[in-house]
Structure 1
Amino acid sequence: MRLVVDLNRCQGYAQCAFLAPDVFTMHGDEALMYDPLADDAQRENVRKAADACPVKAITLDYEDLGAADGKAGASRVG
């Protein structure tokens, strides 16, 4: 799973850091740091974090979906 956060859209609400602290962390009041290649063990937490983002700044790419035909499945969920 790969994820991208649109840092221009992110407003620092920190819902992602609360729901998936192993992937998202806040540095200071507004600076978000994240692991773009989050471990699959974090998939459910990351999905919940993306869903909870009030400004929908998180995009998930489920690379394993469609792996048989070589296509990745992307989804803007957060």
Structure 2
Amino acid sequence: MRAIILSLVIFAAGCSSLVEQQTPVCDAVAMIGGQHTTVHIYGVRSVANQTQYKAGYPFNWRWVSRGNFVSSTCQK
């Protein structure tokens, strides 16, 4: 049993380096549940003349439209 637990711990430690660590490029404010919430932005792109942000929590690191935010510090 100890060998199994030890091998799982070593495996998990080895895989932790595979998760990419990113630094936010800017911040934006979204109105969520009636409250202003600051969201870290990890990328900015334009698709079909629409600006999109790669937004962290609570947007789950997905590309979302700039229109989801009331303000931002992002340049583009």
TM range (shorter): under 0.3
Considering Cα pairs closer than 8 Å and 6+ residues apart, tell me whether 1 or 2 has the greater RCO: 1
* Bigger Cα Rg: 2
Under a length normalisation based on structure 1, what TM-score does the superposition of the two structures give?
0.25
By percentage of residues, which structure has more strand?
A: 2
Under a length normalisation based on structure 2, what TM-score does the superposition of the two structures give?
0.25
